[in-house]
Structures are given as structure tokens and as C-alpha cells.
Structure 1
């Protein structure tokens, strides 16, 4: 096709078809210029190729008309334009005064590293043009006569490229077709569809939306070659696929029913029936001469399969699958064989034996006589290989017996033994524990106990600290008792061994400065005496010590927390109070501070390697606390205090709780009030301790200092005392810590 019109190759010698290629003899500009497409057709349909454009390159002559004279004053610049003649294709200019040329981006960004120049920098090439290369560019040309600047804008565009292509579809009659094609490009491409080379028009069964095609209730006429076309202003691309609508009678040749299915009594089985059929076949089942019906045990699945639960011996027999559609009928059959279940009748049991004895662990089964049984034993998770000639283990018994004999049993054969039974249709297992005990001390004196709680870690840098629980004297089994420590870096194959002769010790420290802090080690600990060595413990993972923190907040290794020290101006830092904070916490409330007092505070990070250096001290003065006044009689205490004003970062005070108790008594009474005064009805025979605490959204807030009111001899007296409410002190305490953390972080 040329420009959408079919080319008649029989009517002109000008065109020839060579294979699938079009040859044009002596092409002419006016006759042959345009867009060409190739149509390919076979028995399944027709597809249309992408477009190919034919252009002719040419270069005409300069105009012969004489140019007007150009006058210019001395010292001024002048431009003589060189308008090219009519042409198509690239052209090259030259001049007697060829200028020096430079390039830059108008937006100030540097030219990319991939930029290339050609023809004395007259040509700027940008390989692999990307989004970041888009923008305005300037070309500056200059020679001894002057300079000139030209600007140009580069805008990125992209040819269409397929993200999702359509694939061949082979569907049954009356099925639904859904195809999606998707392409990327700039500008975004538009989509259209072709069937056998012709535009595909939507109708009642056919929906086309952007790059999707949906055809419902397929019929034979829908078969053909389809193309999805994606197009923008720069290119057009195609993706092709065949739709073949199949209409066929049921056929079991490629997917026959399984000839023999084996199941156990009480089990379940699925017998598949999946013939090829277009459209989908209706499935019926026959056993013997009866059509199967669904019930509580028998189900017909949507895919045509038969599912039977809780199988009995009566379910055995031949099952016929009948498949039918409007094009024909087919049948295929298979046989179900039902066997007895395998049951372990005599499982291994727990046994408690003495070193040197020989024992038998039973494992006997009942099973279907037509089924072979295989017995396998494992010890502490490892399969026992009887073919390697292991002296202590032997399997005894007949076809239905898998007993295990252990001859001359030793201490290290204590553990879990599992008998595993395998048949062609099922598998099961049973477990028995064996405890092997040593002989009495008089007969058998080497140690049998294994150290427990093997652990360790911590300590300073380059130290591996290993700990365990020491063994009491009654379990040492003789003189010369000590410990064997074995350790190696995780992943190594060479164990290091150390003997510790001390009976009471429960720790060993290994030092190696060449190993990275916090490196993991495998560790195990055993015992020995004058007779022999005992059994080693299981492997534990212990980490090498780490460096102590090198700054107040940022340490090496695993940081465990912070230590806050604070003191008053009239005391020394050595007598400072301490608060320990676990975890990565960046603020701490400090309560119990004195009102209107200057405090200093520092923060130190700590980990298992120790405590790091302190931060620079910061100072702040707690605020003066409100006044509390009281009046005393022989049966009543009247309290008055100033309302607590909250700061910006504090929640509102909702009320007050008054805690009071007799001196030297632990029982405390609580009075709740929303006012700033209260009366306490108490028998005033002893001194009283009183504390006033604010109430906020989250519960109790901060409190005043504890007030001690002594018993009076007269009926009434009045005193006024100044005491702080810690709400301000708490707030200031938080500010101190945050200042420290912020300044340290800087």
C-alpha cells in the first residue's frame, strides 16, 4: 500500500515484489514519495506492517540574483546571511572566517559528561537523551570580526514502546476474550485495533477502550489475526496476536482419567475428569450401572473432578466419566482401590536404663497386606544409618516389626528416638525417650554432669567473658575436678580449649585485641576429674566485649542507656545524684528538686563496655514554689494554697489530691478537691505529714514537698510555710536534660 492505496504490481514494471520486499525501478520524486505499508495474508488472517516513509534527498542552487551592497562604518560589526538553497537532508556550511564555537546551557546547569562535539564544535551531540537533558542551550560563535549567540530549546519526546503486548489466544466457543495492550511514549500514544488488516469497529459484543479489547460470547467468525496499534506524532507501532475460536467434541486423548487411584479407609481421594472440549462439557459420573449423586461424602467439583471423603471399602470399583457438549460425547474410566490404614500398634516407650545394658525399643504396625512397609529410626534428629556397621544399633523383627536394639548402651545415647513408618500411600511416626544413668560412684567415678546456664558477654573491649553455673560437690564424682572451656569464632572450624582447675569458679575471660568488638563466638563448657573428662554442654553464642562510648550520646557497639548526674551549686559534682535511663530515651523527668535553686547536670552514655565521658554541664534554676498555709485545731486542719499555673508544654490542672498520714504510720488517706483549699477532720493527737499533688488528664501530676504539722497544746494556732509544687521543678528538669541532649548532638 502507498499512502493508503493498494499498489497493483501486475499493471506496472515500475514496481516488483522480491520475496516480501518491494523494489522500485527508477524512483521519481513526485510519483514515489509517501508512506508505504505491507499486508501479509494466510489462511488464518491478515496483518498490516508498520509504516515506512520514502523521502528524496536533494540540494538546489543558490539564487543567482545579485545581493545589494552592505555599507558599514569602520569598527562596527556586520552580519552577512547565508540562506541555503532548497534542499532535503543535512547540509554543511563553510566560510572564509570560520568562527570559534562554544556551547552552554541557558539555565546555568553544566553540560553533561556525555556531551560530544563535531565539526569544530559546530555540532553538539547528546547521546542517550534523558529528561534531565531537556532545556535551553546557547551556541556562541566568534572570530576576529565579532561574535554572535544563538539559542535553542530542546524538548524531550519519546517514540512509542510496548509495555504490554497481546498474546495468542485459543478459546472455546462462547468464551469471552480480553486483550490489553499498553505503550509508553511522549506524548502519550493513542490506540486502535485491526482485524485481518482492517479497522475493528465496536458493536454489541465488542468493546474497545484505550488499549483494551473485550469480546463476549465468542463465535467462529471472531477467529483471525488481530493488531493493537499505538501511535503518537513521532511513530506508530503494532503488536500482533491470533485469536482461534475452537469448537470440538469432548476428547480424553490428551488428559485421560487416572487408570488406578489408591486410597485408605477413612481417608479421601480426588478422581479428576478434565477432557478437552469446546465449549466446556457437562460431566456425569457412573459407578457400576448407577449414576453417582452427591451426598455428605461424595462431591462433584466445578472442574469435573470427583471428591470422596471418609472412604470405605464399598467405595472401591470402576468409575466412568461421561463428558458431553453439542458437538459430541466421550467417556473414560478409572479404578479406585481402597486399602486398610497403617497403624502403629506397639510404639516405643520411655525407658530409664543403666550404662552397659542392652535394650529394645519396639515399633510394630498393622497394615494392608498388599502394601510394603519401610521402617526408619532417628536419634536426636539424626537418621540412624544401619548400613555403616554401627556397633551399638541394630534393627530387628520381620516385615511388620521395626524394633531397634541398642547394645551396651552408653551415656551419650540418652535422648529422643523416633520410629518412622513409610508406605506407598501414607507415613506416620512414634517417639520414645531413653534416659541412660551412670553406675554408682563406687563403680564409676568419671563426672557425668553437664554444666548448665552457659552464657556470658559484656565486659570491656577485646574480652570474651564466658560464664556457667558451677557444679556442686556431690555431683563431681571424685577428686581433681575442674572445667573444660572450648570456644571458637562463629563460622570457624578450629576450637580453642582451656582447662580451669578451680572447683568453685564459674567464669573465664579470654582476651584478644585483634578481633572486632561484638564478634560472636561458639562456646561450650565441660567438666573433668582425675578419672576422665565428662560431656560438653550444647553450644551457646557469646559476643566479644565492646568499646565503651566515646561521646556522651554516641557510643560504639550496642548502646544500652544514659546516666544523668545532677547537683546543686553549693555541693560538689562528686556528690551528685544519679538517674539511670535504659534504652534510647532523649528526655527524663527529675522530681524532688528544691525550689528556687540552681542545679547543674551532665549526661553520660553507657553500654556493656562501660560508661562514656560526660557531656558539658548545663545549669538552670528551679522556680519558686507557691505558698501553702494551714490552720490547726484539736480536730481539724484547714489548708489553703495558690493555684498552680501550667506552662505551655504542660496539660491543664484539673484538680488536686491531698495525701495525709500520721507520722510513723504507713497508711495514707487521700482527699480529692477542685478548689485551692481543704479541711481535714482528724484526731490531732500525733504529728501529721501532708502532701498536695496536682491532677491532670493523664492522672496525678507533680506534688509539693511533704509538710510536717506537729501536734499543738492550744486549741488553735496558725503558721505559714513556703513549700514547692514540683510541677515547675519537673518541667525545669525536663528542660535541663533536653538542653544536654541537644547540645551533645551538635
Structure 2
């Protein structure tokens, strides 16, 4: 061989520029006059790695499977390994937990390509005669941001009904995730509210609290988007709790309340029973009816009606108007009428009043109250004052006052009594106020026998027991303490002055035992 040289003395064979064809079995023969011997040498010719298949830069869509080829020849057969640019080694095998694996033929398989698979991949072939490298870049494309279908911006439903709020996904790579919020807070899923497989939000048996602004947000690595839907839960009108009866004073403004709730907000309309329209009143959107100057004509039954597209509710409200007392035949607030009468006649001072509620009528004489019923004065059902058997001393100022919650009015009479018989103008016969003719008392009680008397000049009062004077003269009430059986009998109160006299007779019975059914009222002090 032209590239082989032997050294017969040293027993060596030198091959220059050895090639693969030089590989084989070589036999060495040594001989001498004494004999010969041989030996065998096997020559293996190695080769450094060479790529038979090399990877190229590749672009893949998200979710695709790609294979990067890498095969090498050489002797001995080179070992092929893969690693990432960050020196992270990629292991060989079929590990189900990994999407990236090196196949037995040296190729690299990437399953379901994702964003983090993007980058530089390095393939290395190595044997004892050398190491070679090649690389390829993987780019990931095909991302699409989420796209949602736009539906109705407002959804309405009735209370107790069920509904779905749609969130339809039109596009998005990779598949976006969808999230719901209500009024800015994540929707709490429960037995009534849950997310369907198509992304819509299902609400069962809606309640007013379900109303609000719902936002469906779709998110993937390529972006985010959302849709907004307003949910209105319609609730039939309901009139809030409030008074059913109002009482107004005449001329004083009053407001009737009829506040209503519901969705949508109800419209409140007022009407009055038996009246097509009413004046001097106006209502506002809140359901209040303002009556500026109520009169008796404004009293009655009012009806407020709250109406919305989903129903109506109504309520009856009664208004009573307290009208100012009025004295018939008299105009103005305070009046004084002059009146004259003869001694001994009966005088009626008119004071017939009107008003609602019925006014309370009281009389006074020179500023002093007059009881409703006395011996000489009687307040008639009409309110007028009757004076029986008038005397000169009845010449006074009499005032009738009518009062109710709406106000008061008064009328005064300046009464002048004339004596046409020539009797002394300064005298008036005594008159004793009527009292019970029979009194009963238990032994030991204290008894007071009344004797209220009037006259001019002031009469002298004397008490008699069975015709015998008792007590202290001029005592208008006879007081008997610790009454006993000896105290029973007939008592007389005699009132005298220079114009005449009057007598009151009272019979007193003293009981030894308690007979409750027989007792008459006894003034006990």
C-alpha cells in the first residue's frame, strides 16, 4: 500500500492517512532459521460525528404538535442530546407528565405547543472522536384575544322568575376563561346561582337583591374583554306603611303621605271619593298630597294608587278637618252685645255654635266661670245660657267661649236688668241652690249638708235641726262629724235679707249597719 510502511526489524506497520477502508484484520509473520511465528491485529477506524439530519427554525400555532429532527452518523455512533438555550436539558423518553421529549431516533417532539415553548433549541452529537452542535428557533403564533357576543344591555324579569344572562364566546386562542361579577364583586355561586357550560350565568327564582350590573369577563394570554348587562328585577308596587287617618285644622297646611316602592318606580295618582277634581292641592312624584289651606269641603276619603307596568296598589286615606268654631249670626272673632231685661223674667243669651269637632261651650260672668247647671243658670244643648228669674245683681258681663282643636271664638253680652216695679235697686231676694232632699250616712261618718245661697244684700243663713237652731250663724254648709243616731232628722237652711227669704230642707237618715244598696251619695270630708 502506498500509505503503509513496514519496519521489518522492529516489527511495526505504519499507515499514513488512515481511512475507513483501512479497517480490518492485519496478520504479522516473524520467521528465522530457527522457525516462524504469527500474530493478528484488528484495526478499527473511528469517525467523528456528522449530522445526517439537522433541525431548522420553525413557527407553530398554539396547540400544535411539532418535531425538530436531529440525526448524526459517526463511529462509534454518536450520542444525540437536546437542550434549551438556558442550558436546561431535555430528557429522553415518553414521560406522560411532559409535553417535550426526545425520541429514540434523536428527534425532539413538542406536544401542544404553548407560549413557554418558544425559544432556541440546541441539538448536540458526541462520540469519542468529537462533538458537534446545531440549533433551531421555535416561534409560537396563532394567539387570538377573546371575543364575546354583544347581547341586550338590559334584561328585565319578574320577581320569582328564573333566567340566564348570556356570555357567548365567539373567538379566543387559547380558550379564554370567563368570570362573572355583580356590582363590582365576584358572583357568589349558590343553590340559586351557578355558571353553565356555555358560560352563561343562571339565576333561579330571582329576588330583588339579584338586580344590578353584571359583567362577564373573558381572559386568555392574548388579552381580555368583557360585556356588561343590567338586570332589572321587576317588583309590583307596594305602598309603604303609613297613617290611614289624618286630622287637619282649618286653614293649616297638611300633607297626606302615600310612599310606594317597586321596580320600576311606581307612579302615584291621588283621587277623592265623590269628587272628580279637588282644588287647592298638589301632589309630588314621591306620593305626597299637599293641601295648602284645608276647609270642611276637603274632608273625606282620598285614594292613592301606585301604578307600574307590572301591577298596581291602592290605599284609602281619610282626612278629617277641624273647622273653626262659629257663633251663629255673629261675624268676627270677639264681639259684645248689649241686652236689657226686667227683674223676675227669664233671659236667654244666644250662643249657638258650629264647628268640627263640635266645640266646647263655656260661660263666664265678669270673668268667673259659670257651672253648666246651677239654681239660676242653665247652659242649653244649643250652647245658649238661660237665666231664670233674673235679679238686679245679674246685671253683669256674660261671655260665651267656644273652643275646639281648630281654634276658639267668643261672644259677650253686657246684660242690664231693669226694675219696673219700684223695688229697691240694691236688693235681691235670697235664692238657695237646689240640693238633695235626702241624705243617708253610716254611724261615725262625717256629713256635710250644703246650702249655696245668693242674694243682695248677702243673706243671713241659719240652720235648724227638727226646728231647733244648730251650728254657727251664716254657715253655708253644716258639717257634722262622727254622725250618730241622734243626728238624724230634718234639717232646714233659712236664708234671709231685707228683700225676703228662701228655705232649703234636707232629711238625714243615720244607718247602724252597712246597706250599700240603700246609700245615697254623702259629702264626706
**Normalised TM-score (structure 1):** 0.20
Kindly name which structure, 1 or 2, has the bigger radius of gyration based on alpha carbons: 2
Where relative contact order (Cα < 8 A, 6+ residues apart) is larger, the structure is 2
**Normalised TM-score (structure 2):** 0.27
